[in-house]
Structure formats: C-alpha cells, structure tokens
Amino acid sequence: MSPARSHLRHLALITGLCALLVVSALLAVGLGSAVIPPSDTVRYLGAALTGGTISADEVTRYQIVWQIRTPRVLLAALVGAGLGTVGVAVQSLVRNALADPFVLGISSGGAVGAVAVSTTGALAGFGIYATSAGAFAGAMAATVLVFAVAYARTGTTPLRLVLTGVALSFGFQAVTSVLIYLVPGNEATSTLLFWSMGSFGAATWGALPAVAVVVLAGTVALHRFSRTLDAMSLGDEAATAMGIDPARHRHVLFAVTAVMTGAMVAVSGAIGFAGLVVPHVTRMLVGARHARVLVVAPLAGATLMVWVDLLARTVAAPRELPIGVLTALLGVPVFLVLMRRRQYVFGGAA
C-alpha cells in the first residue's frame, strides 16, 4: 500500500471512530431505565450548554440526562481512552504483550488505597473525595514499590518490572480481600467489592475536570514520545543504538502512565482487560507505529467503555453489573481469538 493511500485510510479510520464515539455517547445518554429519544437528548444537552429553556414537565428527564447520565458517559469515555493509551505505552515499555496497568500492580495498589480509606475512615478531610484520594495515593505508592523492588545494580529491566508487578499485584489483591472481609455489615462489604471491580456509578461533574486534565495531558505526552516508544519496543540494545537512554526514558514514561492510572482508578475503580485488549486490536488496524496507535487507541478505548458501561447498567436492570466483570467477559474471548490468528504477532501483523 502506498504511503498516501495508507495515510488516507488512517484518516478515514480516525474520522469513523470519532463519529462512532459521538453517536455512542448520545445513545448511551438516552438509554437506560428511562429511555429518552435521541432528539430529546440532543435538545436537553443543547439547553444545558446554551442556557436554553425546557417545559416544567420535562425537568425530571432533563436532570436524568444532564446531571446523571452525561457525566457518567463522559467519565466512561475518558477512562476508556486513558486505559487504551496506557496499555499501549506499558506493553511497549516492557516489551510484553500481556502487560497493562492491572498486571503491573498499579490498579491493584489503587484499589488497596481506596478500600483502606473506606474501611478506616482515613483522609476524612477530603470529604466525598476521600476514597478517590486514597485510590490515587495507593496507585502512586504501588508504583514506587514496584520500582523499588525491581531495581537492581544493573538497572530496571522490563522482565524484572513485569515479574515484580505481577507478584505485588497478587499481594495487593490479597490485602484488598482481607480489608473487605473484615468490614462489618453486608451492605458495606458489597459496596467495597463492587467498587474494587470498577464502576462509573459515582460520576459527577465535579469529578470530571481533574481526571480529564490528567488523561488528556498524559495522552499528549505519550504521543510526543512515539518515536521513543517505537525504539524501546525493539529492545534496550536497539534503543541505545538509536541514541535513546532506555532506563531514563522508562522511568519518565512509567511515571506518566502511573499518574494516569492513579487518576482513573480514583474515579472508576480497578478495571481490567481494557488496557490489555484495546492496544492489540488497534495494532491490527493501523500497524505498530506509535504515532498512529496512540491516536486510534484512545478513540477505540473510549467507544468500547461507553458501550460496556451502557451494558453494565441495562443488562440486569435495575441492578448494575461491575464494569470489570463485563470487560473480562468481553476481553477474554477477544484476546483468545487474537492469539489464535496465525498472522498476528505482538506489535502488529506479521
């Protein structure tokens, strides 16, 4: 395929994904226990953004659209985009097709922080954001611990990071399970267990700005390191031959991905498999060049998470399913199909 044709195909894919994301978001805002037609959904959103007026008998539906569903759908899109982006970066940094924030222990550390705050009442000064603050602090502490344990005199190698992250991830999950088990009261235990598996049920307009800034800034930063990621995905020796210091860049890039993961875990809980599957699907669509992958993966991740969240709150209505359960149910078969495709290898198609 000629470069010009490949470029046009890439632009068409991006345009299509953007359109699909917008349509998906509008449908997700309108669908639920109370179904609101797309025309009314657009009208309510327009009234909220422009200060327009609505009739008195539409106030309840307007509040459902603007106060409840819109921030939830936007949060789902942000987290999905962030998980897809972080998954791409982490897999390239450690050169491991199975790597994602969940495997490296960052998400599990965030879950420990959130559950610890909920069970002990710590960080009460943060008010309603105490659990989110605990999750962020837990994710950052987990990142530091993983690097500290994986560090050796010869440096921090990708293999040591993966093995350390996997081991500590199991440890963090065990701590979370113990804390949940010790919580008095079935309702509190159920709430904590549900949160540890991911949910967008607590989304509010107040929680969106911080995570939006972190995810968008982190995505831009990682995209600026596209060529560095291309080199590091080939191995440390190849990266060094290209004039790149793998150890220094690995520390910087992991810091970026850790902050992004901490921000996402703080508002949505620990969601697995999205950061694992989305990068692989994206590489199959656009190849292994990170300049392209890091544009498509956020759009694909955002669209996927919007639909997963919609399923989570409608499939078993009025009850809500944990997001992590659905991403696993969807991600496992997709990943197995990818593994069985003979022409697929890590980093793209052979």
Q: What is the pLDDT of residues 218-245, one digit of tens each?
A: 999 999 999 999 998 888 888 888 888 8
Q: For the segment 285-301, what is each residue's pLDDT rounded down to a tens digit?
A: 888 899 999 999 999 99
pLDDT recorded at residue 155: 66
Give the three-class secondary structure for 345. Answer: strand
Cross-strand pairs, 139: none
Helix/strand/coil percent split, the chain, to 5:
75, 0, 20
Reference 196, options 260, 305, 136, 271; nearest CA is: 271
Cα–Cα distance, 236 to 226 (Å, whole number)? 16
Residue 171 token pair = 């440890």
pLDDT of 183 strictly over 90 = no
**DSSP per-residue codes, 94-152:** HT-TT--TTTTTHHHHHHHHHHHHHHH-TTGGGGGGHHHHHHHHHHHHHHHHHHHHH--
What's the rounded mean pLDDT across residues 189-207? 79
Q: Domain of 147: which CATH number?
A: 1.10.3470.10
Please give the residue that has the higher pLDDT: either 283 or 101.
283
Cα–Cα distance, 129 to 117 (Å, whole number)? 10
Give the three-class secondary structure for 84. Answer: helix
pLDDT recorded at residue 157: 73
Reference 89, options 308, 269, 259; nearest CA is: 259
The whole domain housing 221 covers: 3-349
- The sign of the dihedral angle between the CA atoms of 29, 32, 38, 41 is negative
Q: For the segment 66-102, what is each residue's pLDDT rounded down to a tens digit?
A: 999 999 999 999 999 999 999 999 888 888 777 777 7
Query: Residue 124 to residues 109, 134, 184, 209: CA-CA distances in angstroms?
Result: 20, 10, 19, 21
Cα–Cα distance, 234 to 345 (Å, whole number)? 13
Q: Between 274-286 and 3-30, two packed helices, what is the crossing angle to 10 degrees? A: 140
Q: What is the pTM of this model?
A: 0.88
CB atoms within 10 A of CB 212: 17
Total number of domains constituting the chain: 1
Please give the residue that has the higher pLDDT: either 4 or 212.
212
Q: Quickly state the pLDDT bin for 191 (edges 50, 70, 90).
A: low
Is 314 in contact with 262 (CB distance < 8 Å)?
A: no
